[in-house]
Amino acid sequence: MRRIVLVAFAASLAAAPSAFAEQSCQLSGPPMSRAAMEKTLIAQGYSTIRSLQYHNGCYEAQGFDKNGKRFELELNASTGAVNTAE
């Protein structure tokens, strides 16, 4: 019985950050187009966008910045702002 309680507790903790992240990407207007989001990222210094996917009011972007450093970001789809809440 104790094991079941611990597993349930661990599962609830694991789900909490993802629920928080989804809440922080609530749209404040229509989502930006993929092309507009790419332009926003490039303007912010992210030079190579390898992946850009939309989900739950957010864009998830992966690629390399102008210095060749790899990045993975979650962005608000309405504003293009980087989501820093985790």
Rounded-to-integer distance, Cα 11 and Cα 34, Å: 34
Rounded-to-integer distance, Cα 80 and Cα 49, Å: 14
pTM: 0.66
Q: Domain spans of the chain?
A: 2-76
| Residue 61 bridge partners (DSSP) | 52, 73
- The helix/strand/coil state of 59 is strand
Q: What is the pLDDT of residues 36-46, one digit of tens each?
A: 999 999 999 99
Q: What is the pLDDT of residues 20-73, one digit of tens each?
A: 444 567 788 899 999 999 999 999 999 899 999 998 889 999 999 999 999 999
Specify the amino acid at residue 66. K
For residue 73, CA distances in Å to 5, 57, 80 come to 34, 14, 11
